[in-house]
């Protein structure tokens, strides 16, 4: 059982940031497992992810007499208290999370179940470190699958006339289940800016992405008509602007003139499953920082 | 030394096309090395590529007494004569070429030499089955490289004021050197529709292609600003519509937040070299058929 | 609903093979949807796959007065009868199958369910054109999943003492369910040569494949220790020689020093699912021909 | 013009390593551009790469009154002096290099010139930050190319009888030219362990790598005979054990039954060029740390 803390930081770049953060962790006896930084030189921004052990048993061994080692568990609350003024001084945005607190995830889907089935299987197999207390769909197809994995599903139909009401119901469900992350697993409705604003950098979507990009209702038909040699899929955070949020992951598959539209669609499904599941895993492992309209993915 | 003929066909699909073409080849004693067909069901079009040996020594062995075999070389002129009425009857577009006639290629470039250097090295190494009697550039940078590979280079400067005149000079050069194929190896000028119309499906270009696509002057800056996770390149035939001709080949490379604009540019150069050289090789091997705005690439 | 026939041929190469096969199909009024050939020049072998429509409604339109067209359904039995002497004369191995006859597939697995879950989901979603009347496992983990998809599962434990007996029971199950294809979806037992001999080119397996290859009990540990930068998976037909049968499909994923053994294992699972499901789909679509220890995959 | 320092560290993992290194850099006023760490938990090893600016003009801005900022250039010698006792205390292996000191590279090749041509073109184009004062070959083919790029080439023929003598001559050349890095750009002779021992982690080689791996004289023939669907190439540091040194980079290309041995060889050449040039660039940027038989590549 993993028992770690993760600290994610972004702030204006300046000298000494690594020294001061790592110095405080050292002082508190943190046993660092992973640390990574990134500097965006154009924007003058600094990003950092540190993960350390919360119990003293595992990890590296302090050598005798050299370090302020401790055999007691790491005191996360005390660190939080000590870090707060430092972060304020340095103008940091930061998140401090413990693996003991598992994120609570809701899955939204419509009639296509391939992403849903993939995520649920990965979750059951232990690949996704979260709780999934809720599935929401505007269709009925998901119900058997939800039942098989023991996840309650809520049917919330959506029409243009009932959209506002439906979103209100969805938001109530999310609030009641204390959801941290919403995954749009081929959910075919557009969420309103008001909905999206409730979950900043906490709604992940997947869509096709082509070379060159196609928009419109039937992208695979357009791609086939254009004769592209590659098709792709993109996972991203949802923002108020449709399909234009910070990109988390992309992948492509090679196709040829022999592939019909239905082959493109099938390949697209495989790509969608892969790029969505990777994005979800990285989010749950707190590997992603958003800034502007981009992401840093600490791998 | 390869000594083969290639027949490329496209025509309305109908029953018996393969039977009639292969029947005629069989009757004439052709020793088929490769044959491939493709049917576009939506458009009702048929495509075929057949390659056969022109001398009787190599290839498969006719069994005794079973086939109208011949030990004399294949008579390509006689086949041409016999095929013409059949093709007319079936409404075929067709090209019949012999490997004895090497395509004559002109390379156009500007100040960036990576594609040019790659193509010339491959040509020298025997990967590209063509003659290259001409390099045209609106810059001076290519001259040493051209001299090293022994290819005459012509400096044709282009400004908005002299464009018409420059194209006239370029077309004269192409005509004088009996050029079959023009390769735009990062040639940074836009060719006029009149120029392009002289060389239908005979000008190959390469450009970046992103997920999602970026247009404009500084695509790598735009891609970096957008935070894409993949960059790509596309090779295509040039048509009157800029960067929108039939796609021949595409490829991508994975990037991350760690890559700066200059890293994207460097990766892009490698992609451009690969997709352009593949397109050229396939064209020279007569593997590509254009139709509508698409290609069939018989691999 | 697809209603087509597929003819797969391999035989010694000789002149006129395409002409004679396509001539017979033309004569019988076949509406060809796909045709592909391959010639292995080193071995002097010819391979062909033709797929045509069995009803006259769809597909290309015979032009007036030019072809022996027919508006009645294609008579597959009559074609079979006519083709048999031709095939005998030309020394052909051949298979003629109709899409009306869906292959019957058995899935074998052990404790790891990722491939099984993937295949069952694809089957349910209509991607795999077959019946699956049987799951066999030497473990209990699969039973819920099997029940969810409505496939009877049989528990056949295997120990070194009971191997012969277990295989007998497995073979009885396969015979009773008239199984055409066995898929080893991470089945962790080695099948005896006697078992394998019953199902030539009809057992598909998946295993990891590394650069360079690792054998032994813990391949991902070995790959991690060696510091490879790519991991891979291979699907292949099972022959008497372990993991050495004809390769159907391979794929790789990029890894780095940051990936731990468990990351390699997770990536490996995704690769295994992809390469196994592709191999199964191609087999069911009769796209694969085995010869020697290789495959031709008509895409 | 880049003006930076890079510090590469590996040592036993322990608490406070990042804090102490970054603390010292902060104290000295270093303007950190990139920093990355890696911990191998199995072996208890810590790896770090830090790159900082050597002049004060560029980079991040110290805020008023908060940091020990300095407007004078970074004093690298003083840092070296201060870091030495810290490194000794913590049992570190370390390298401190300045971009002002360009590595001196020798290229070795035989008759195949594709890697050589690629590296020289990249060098000329400014992609490789090094001097190349020497090319060594046991063949004559490279001489024109070397002359074109203005690099002196030395012809050192090698036979089994003259190997010892030839290596002595090669080592003399390397010493005389003060070579830091030897690149085997398809050099087809095996270097003796004695030679290799002179340049630990300073000889980079490239070779094919297949799925599964083939050894022996004609790997592409073996791969073709085996019917693999992917071919690959690997770049690595040379150690006393042939083709078994720490892997730096690997890549693959997809092939099919349509590809003949010569197609595999051509694809292999492209792969070799890519993986070798990437390895060289990373080495020159001091991004690679070797340990055991593995590499950490800080990207």
Q: Does B114 touch chain D (CB under 8 A)?
A: yes
Cis omega (within 30 of 0) for bond into D212:
yes
The answer to whether residue B232 neighbours chain A at the CB level (below 8 Å) is yes
DSSP structural state of residue D178: T
Q: What is the pLDDT of residues D211-222, one digit of tens each?
A: 556 767 788 898
Q: Of B129, B133, B104, B132, which is closest to residue B287 (Cα–Cα)? A: B129
Residue C89, min C-alpha distance to chain A (Å): 32
Name the pLDDT band for C213 (thresholds 50, 70, 90). Answer: low
Cβ within 8 Å of residue C175, ≥6 positions away: none
Identify all chain D residues contacting A69, using CB atoms and an 8 Å cutoff.
Answer: 15
The confidence score (pLDDT) of residue B292 equals: 86
Question: What phi and psi, each to the nearest 5 degrees, are found at residue A50?
Answer: -130, 135
Token code pair at residue A232: 């792709």
Distance from CA of A148 to the nearest CA of C (A): 7
Q: Closest to C299 (Cβ–Cβ): which among A117, A121, A258?
A: A258
Angstrom distance (rounded) from CA D267 to CA D265: 6
Chain C within 8 Å of A119 (Cβ-Cβ)? no
Average pLDDT over residues B110-135: 96
- Whether residue D127 and residue B274 make contact (CB cut-off 8 A), yes or no, is no
Q: What pLDDT, in 10s, does the model give residues C138-178?
A: 999 999 999 999 999 999 999 999 999 999 999 999 999 99
Q: Could you report how far apart the first and last alpha carbons of chain B are, in Å?
A: 21
Hey, is the C-beta of C222 within 8 angstroms of any chain D C-beta? Answer: no
CB contact under 8 A, D127 and B266: yes
Gap from A273 CA to chain B (nearest CA, Å): 17
pLDDT in tens, D173-186: 999 999 999 999 99
pLDDT confidence band for C240 (50 / 70 / 90): confident
pLDDT greater at residue D221 or residue A215: D221
Identify whether B212 is preceded by a cis peptide bond (ω within 30 of 0). yes
Per-residue pLDDT averaged across D13-18, rounded? 94
Identify the closest residue of chain D to B115 by CA–CA distance: D121
CB contact under 8 A, D266 and B127: yes
Show residues of chain D in contact with A86, CB under 8 Å.
none
Residue C246 gets the label, from left (phi > 0), alpha (psi -120 to 50) or beta, of: beta
Which range has the worst mean pLDDT, A29-33, A192-196, A281-285? A29-33
Q: Phi first, then psi: what are they for B15, rounded to 5°?
A: -65, 145
Total residue count of chain B as it appears in this document: 299
Q: How far is Cα A252 from Cα A259, in angstroms, rounded to an integer?
A: 15
The span from the CA of C146 to the CA of C148, in Å, is: 5
Rounded Cα gap, residues A282 and A265, in angstroms: 26
With a cut of 70, say whether residue C292 has pLDDT above it.
yes
Least confident of A229-243, B91-105, D121-135: A229-243
Q: Is A49 helix (H, G, I), strand (E, B) or coil?
A: strand
Q: To which residue do tokens 């070397």 refer?
A: D146
Averaged over C104-108, what is the pLDDT?
98
Q: CB contact, 8 Å: D60 with chain A?
A: yes
A66 pLDDT above the threshold of 50: no
Looking at chain C, which residue has its C-alpha nearest residue B59?
C41
Interatomic CA distance for residues C31 and B15, integer angstroms: 6
Q: Which residues of C touch B63 (CB under 8 A)?
A: 14
| D131 vs D102: CA distance, rounded Å | 6
Cα distance between residue B177 and residue B169, in whole Å:
12
Of D15, D35, D41, the CB nearest to A69: D15
Alpha-carbon distance of A166 to A164, in angstroms, equals: 5
Burial A230-249, CB ≥16 within 10 A → b, else e: bbbbbbbbbbeeebebbbbb
Does residue D198 have a pLDDT over 60? yes
Chain A contact set for B293 (CB, 8 A) = 226-227
**Confidence (pTM):** 0.93
Distance from the Cα of C97 to chain B's closest Cα (Å) equals 21
Q: What is the pLDDT of residue A213?
A: 67
Choose among B98, B45, B22: nearest CA to B290. Answer: B45
pLDDT over 70 (residue B65): no
User: Which bin fits B258, alpha (ψ -120 to 50), beta or left (φ > 0)?
Assistant: alpha
Among D211, D213, D257, select the one facing C297 at the smallest CB separation: D257
- Chain B residues whose CB is inside 8 A of the A213 CB are 211-213
CA distances from D120 to B114, B128, D27, D147 (A): 11, 21, 41, 11
Q: Which residue is closest to C277 within chain A, CA to CA? A: A270
pLDDT exceeds cutoff 80 at D62: no
**pLDDT beyond 60 at B68:** no
Place of tokens 């139909």: A157
3-state secondary structure of C244: coil
Beta strand A153-155 pairing with A181-184: unpaired
Q: Is A43 on the interface with D (CB under 8 A)?
A: no
Tell me the CA distances in angstroms from C251 to A253, C243, D111, D219, D254, one per residue in order. Answer: 12, 16, 32, 20, 8
Distance CA A35, CA A19 (A): 12
C189 burial type by CB count under 10 A (0-12 exposed, 13-18 middle, 19+ buried): middle
- Contact indicator for B246, B196 with CB cutoff of 8 Å: no
- Say what the ipTM of the complex is: 0.89
pLDDT at D113: 96
Interface contact B252, partner A, CB < 8 A:
yes
Question: Which among A29, A35, A67 has the least Cβ separation from residue D14?
Answer: A67
> How confident is the model at residue C70, as a pLDDT?
47
The reported pLDDT for the residue numbered C46 is 96
pLDDT digits (tens, 9 = 90+) for B169-190: 999 999 999 999 999 999 999 9
Q: Is residue C182 over pLDDT 70?
A: yes
Average pLDDT, chain C: 91
Measure the CA–CA gap between C164 and C158, rounded to whole angstroms.
9
Nearest CB partner across the interface for B14, out of C20, C36, C63: C63
* Mutation choice for D interface testing from B121, B265, B274 by most D CBs within 10 A: B121
Instruction: Give residue D296's pLDDT band: very low, low, confident or very high (50, 70, 90).
Output: very high
Most confidently modeled range among B55-69, B192-206, C234-248: B192-206
Burial (CB count within 10 angstroms: exposed 0-12, middle 13-18, buried 19+), residue C203: buried
What pLDDT was estimated at residue D216?
Answer: 73
Q: Tell me how many degrees the CA angle C151-C157-C159 measures, rounded to the nearest 5.
A: 155
Best to test chain A binding among C117, C271, C274 (most A CBs inside 10 Å): C117
| CB proximity list for B255: less than 8 A, separation 6 or greater | B228, B229, B230, B231, B263, B264, B267
* Spatial separation of the C-alpha atoms in residues D87 and A69, rounded to whole Å: 20
What mean pLDDT do residues A227-246 have? Answer: 90
Asked if A293's CB is within 8 angstroms of B256's CB, the reply is no
Query: DSSP letters along C154-217, please?
Result: EE----TTTHHHHHHHHHHHHHHTT-SEEEESS--SPPPHHHHHHSTT-EEEEEEEESS---SS
The pLDDT tens digits of the residues spanning D151-179 come to 999 999 999 999 999 999 999 999 999 99
- State the pLDDT at residue B107: 98
Residues of chain D neighbouring C296 (CB-CB closer than 8 A): 257
pLDDT at C73: 87
Please name the residue that has the structure tokens 């690298």.
D76
Interchain proximity D211–C299, CB inside 8 Å: no
Q: Which of D13, D243, D251, D263 is an active site residue?
A: D243
The closest CB to that of C266, out of A127, A256, A274, belongs to A127
Looking at per-residue confidence, does C18 or D210 come out higher? Answer: C18
Inter-CA distances, C220 with C211, C260, C263, Å: 12, 10, 9
pLDDT tens across D82-104, in order? 999 999 999 999 999 999 999 99
For chain B, the average pLDDT equals: 91
pLDDT at residue A162 above 50? yes
Contact C266, C233 (CB under 8 A): no
Nearest to B117 by CA among B140, B138, B139, B144: B144
The single-letter DSSP state of residue C293 is T
Q: Is the pLDDT of residue A47 over 50?
A: yes
What is the rounded distance in angstroms from the CA atom of residue D226 to the CA atom of residue D219?
10
**Which of D121, D127, D270 is the closest to B117 by Cβ?**
D121
Contact A10, A289 (CB under 8 A): yes
CB pair distance less than 8 Å for A19 and D25: yes
How high is the mean pLDDT of chain D?
91
CA dihedral sign, ordered D204, D209, D214, D218: negative
- DSSP-based three-state secondary structure for D75: coil
Where do the H-state alpha helices sit in C42-100?
Answer: 76-89
Nearest-CA residue of chain B relative to D277? B270
pLDDT of D227 > 80? The answer is yes
The verdict on a CB contact (< 8 Å) between C211 and D252 is yes
* Rounded Cα–Cα distance for residues C44 and D131 (Å): 52
Q: How far is CA B272 from the centre of its chain?
A: 15
B262 touches D: beta carbon within 8 Å: no
H or E element at residue C296: strand C294-297
Whether A296 and B249 lie within 8 Å, measured CB to CB:
no
Separation of alpha carbons B139 and B141, rounded Å: 6
Say what the pLDDT of residue B266 is: 94
* Active-site annotation holds for B129: no
CA distance A258 to C34: 9
Please say if the pLDDT value at position D60 is more than 90: no
pLDDT, greater one: A226 or C103: C103
Q: What does the alpha-carbon distance between residue D235 and residue D233 come to, in Å, rounded to a whole number?
A: 7
Contacts of B296 in chain A (CB under 8 A): 257
- Interface partners of chain C (CB pairs < 8 Å, 3 or more) are A, B, D
Cβ contact A26–D34 (<8 Å): no
Distances (CA, A) of B48 to B18, B95, B184, C16, C179: 8, 11, 28, 17, 38
Q: Which residue of C has its CA nearest to A275?
A: C270
């Amino acid at each position: 059982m993993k028992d770690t803390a993760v600290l994610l930081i972004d702030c204006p770049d300046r000298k000494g940031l690594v020294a001061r953060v790592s110095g405080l962790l050292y002082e508190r006896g943190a046993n660092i497992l992973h640390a990574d930084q990134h500097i965006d030189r154009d924007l003058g921004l600094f990003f950092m992810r540190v993960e350390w052990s919360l119990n003293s048993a595992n990890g590296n061994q302090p050598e005798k007499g050299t370090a302020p080692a401790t055999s007691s568990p790491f005191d996360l609350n005390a660190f939080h208290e000590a870090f707060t003024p430092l972060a304020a001084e340095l103008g940091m945005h930061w998140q401090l999370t413990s693996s003991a607190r598992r994120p609570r995830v809701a899955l939204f889907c419509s009639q296509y179940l391939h992403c849903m089935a993939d995520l649920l299987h990965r979750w059951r197999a232990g690949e996704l470190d979260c709780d999934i207390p809720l599935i929401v769909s505007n269709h009925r197809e998901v119900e058997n699958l939800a039942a098989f994995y023991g996840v309650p599903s809520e049917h919330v139909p959506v029409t243009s006339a009932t959209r506002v009401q439906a979103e209100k119901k969805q938001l109530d469900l999310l609030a009641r289940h204390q959801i941290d992350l919403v995954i749009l697993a081929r959910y075919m409705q557009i969420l309103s800016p008001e909905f999206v604003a409730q979950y900043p950098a906490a709604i992940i979507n997947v869509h096709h992405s082509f070379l060159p990009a196609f928009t419109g209702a039937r992208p695979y038909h357009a791609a086939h008509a254009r004769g592209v040699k590659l098709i792709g899929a993109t996972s991203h955070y949802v923002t108020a602007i449709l399909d234009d949020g910070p990109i988390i992951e992309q992948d492509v598959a090679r196709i040829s003139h022999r592939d019909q539209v239905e082959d493109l669609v099938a390949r697209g499904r495989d790509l969608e499953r892969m790029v969505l599941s990777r994005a979800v895993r990285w989010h749950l492992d707190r590997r992603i920082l958003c800034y502007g309209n981009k992401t840093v993915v600490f791998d």
